[in-house]
């Protein structure tokens, strides 16, 4: 890549980051001024603002899902049910309260199922290997490559983690990823991916956490061989 192209790409990435920060702060007028400065048409500016509003709604939903998951993790409902069954003369108020808690948990589980946050990856890999992978160290919600500050060395991983990575599907980051890593280009049910940047040939590990974009990303070094989209390492 030529120096001029690198500088142009860096400038675009910087302006994009400024626009997103301004829109996040509710300063649409200032964001439009920055976009106009980069030569964007009114149509493109309107499209960008609309996409940001849609992404903001998605982010709000993600935060709601995270909260519900966290609250479910805190619950001791199963223990409460066991204790209730051991009671010789349970009070009506206790029975009604427990019934209400069971109803709420059912509602919470339905909510998580509706929004695709079932623990499929944990079931696929087992808890131990799943958490080893998740805790390798990822950059959270980067917009572009310059926002990925973490590195994972394939050579330093356990045989089990290497095998997990070898079997991951591969995607290519190209011009269709028009919102960078926030582009809805992935299947949240898969959760883990390898991504290769078409322009720089950089290799990344991705954890979607059940969403359709690259929620957590890290550079991946020393893969034993190049992989193409749709392939796994032999």
Read out DSSP for 85-116? HH-SS--HHHHHHHHHHHHHHHHHHHHHHHTT
Dihedral angle sign, alpha carbons of residues 168, 171, 173, 177: negative
- pLDDT at residue 87 in the model: 80
d(CA 84, CA 105): 17
Taking the chain (234 residues) in consecutive chunks of 10 residues, what is each chunk's mean pLDDT? 56 68 84 82 84 69 64 64 75 74 70 58 83 90 89 94 93 90 86 92 91 91 67 42
**Per-residue pLDDT, 14:** 62
The pLDDT assigned to 151 comes to 95
In angstroms, the CA 165 to CA 192 distance is 9
Question: How many Cβ atoms from other residues are within 10 Å of residue 139's Cβ?
Answer: 17
pLDDT, residue 64, reads 67
Burial of 206 (0-12, 13-18, 19+ CB in 10 A): buried
Residue 199 contacts residue 1 (beta carbons within 8 Å): yes
Q: What is the distance between the terminal CA atoms of the chain, rounded to a whole angstrom?
A: 31
How far is it, in rounded angstroms, from Cα 67 to Cα 111?
A: 12
Which helix (H) or strand (E) segment holds residue 176: the answer is none
User: How far apart (Å, rounded) are the C-alpha atoms in residues 52 and 201?
Assistant: 28
Residues 6+ apart with CB under 8 A from 154: 162, 165, 220, 221, 222, 223, 224
Confidence at residue 155, expressed as pLDDT on a 0 to 100 scale? 93
Q: What is the pTM of this model?
A: 0.51
């Amino acid at each position: 890549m030529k120096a001029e192209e690198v500088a142009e790409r860096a400038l675009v990435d910087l302006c994009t980051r400024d626009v997103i920060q301004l829109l996040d702060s509710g300063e649409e007028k200032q964001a439009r001024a920055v976009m106009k400065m980069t030569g964007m048409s009114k149509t493109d500016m309107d499209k960008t603002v609309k996409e940001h509003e849609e992404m903001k709604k998605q982010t709000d939903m993600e935060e709601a899902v995270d909260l519900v998951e966290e609250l479910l993790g805190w619950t001791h409902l199963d223990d409460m049910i066991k204790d209730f069954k051991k009671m010789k003369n349970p009070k009506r108020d206790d029975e009604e309260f427990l019934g209400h808690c069971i109803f709420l948990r059912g509602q919470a589980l339905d909510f998580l199922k509706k929004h695709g946050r079932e623990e499929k990856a944990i079931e696929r890999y087992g808890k131990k290997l799943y958490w080893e992978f998740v805790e390798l160290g990822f950059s959270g919600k980067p917009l572009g490559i310059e926002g990925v500050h973490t590195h994972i060395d394939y050579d330093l991983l356990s045989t089990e983690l290497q095998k997990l990575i070898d079997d991951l599907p591969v995607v290519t980051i190209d011009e269709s990823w028009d919102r960078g890593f926030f582009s809805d280009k992935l299947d949240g049910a898969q959760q883990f991916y390898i991504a290769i940047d078409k322009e720089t040939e950089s290799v990344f590990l991705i954890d979607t956490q059940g969403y359709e974009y690259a929620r957590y990303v890290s550079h991946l070094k020393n893969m034993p061989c190049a992989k193409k989209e749709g392939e796994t390492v032999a």
